[in-house]
Amino acid sequence: MLQRLTIQAFQLIYLAVSGSWSSANTAELMTIVGIYVHAFFLIFAFAFPIVVLTLEAIGIRRGDEDYIRMAWNGSKLWGITFAAGAVTGTLVEFGLIVVWSGSLALIASMAAAPLMLELYAFIIEIVLIGTYLTTFWRFKRRKWGHLLIGLGVLFGSNLSAYMILAVNAWMQVPWGTGNTVSHLFLPWVPSLGPLVVNPVKLKLLATTLPIVGSSL
């Protein structure tokens, strides 16, 4: 429900600003805002688990309830930032699919495998963070078991981030692939990124050698 309302609000804002879906400059601006707002919440969503789990581990190790309470207070902020990151992440996905529909070619090809793994990692993260928050005070005797749930959330979030970075690396054209990625989907755009072999110099070499009486 919240995500649907967020998407509808995003649509209304976009139409109000641009007047149509054909404004590339406005689309780019909206995409940048969505990604950076999402990244802002992700910073906290990745940092809070480390702090919270460290406080909880110290509290369990020392038997100090003060550390446990600090971990509980931090976990609530962790949950809020995670929810905000999930909602703003919907804006990013919405922008890629609707505004930049050409990204579907990337998603349907080389990005399919890492995005599928990212989806599973995100599901693990959602399930375990809900379990972690709702069972925080229910592990009376086996508190280490609750800490393991939190470590599972940390694993899921880092795996999700790794897979997103893997996809983003291909979107940025990795070194050595040159224009292979871009020309595969957009053959009319100029070359992007370095190649292992410089095609211009290779062409000059191929035309120069026959002139001097040699061959490749």
3 state DSSP class of 139? coil
Assess whether 46 and 118 both reside in one domain: yes
Query: Given 156, 172, 188, which residue is the final one in a domain?
Result: 172
Cβ atoms of 81 and 44 within 8 Å: the answer is yes
Assess whether 11 and 36 both reside in one domain: yes
Query: Given 140, 156, 172, which residue is the final one in a domain?
Result: 172
| pLDDT tens sequence across 85-124 | 888 887 777 777 777 766 777 777 777 888 888 889 989 9
| Amino acid, single-letter form, for residue 171 | M
Assess whether 190 and 125 both reside in one domain: no
C-alpha closest to that of 72 among 85, 84, 88, 60 = 60
| pLDDT tens sequence across 117-151 | 888 998 999 999 999 999 888 877 778 888 999 99
- Structure-derived torsion over alpha carbons of residues 117, 118, 123, 129, reported in degrees to the nearest 10: 130
Q: How far is CA 3 from CA 6, 29, 57, 192, in A?
A: 5, 21, 34, 35
Tokens 């910073």 sit on residue? 43
Assess whether 102 and 194 both reside in one domain: no
pTM of the full structure: 0.64
Domain with 181, as residue range(s), is 177-216
Assess whether 68 and 150 both reside in one domain: yes
Assess whether 104 and 154 both reside in one domain: yes
| Amino acid, single-letter form, for residue 180 | T
Alpha-carbon torsion (30, 4, 165, 54), positive or negative: positive
Assess whether 214 and 117 both reside in one domain: no
Assess whether 105 and 206 both reside in one domain: no
Assess whether 54 and 127 both reside in one domain: yes
Q: Say how many domains are in the chain.
A: 2
Assess whether 202 and 133 both reside in one domain: no
More confident residue, 2 or 109: 109
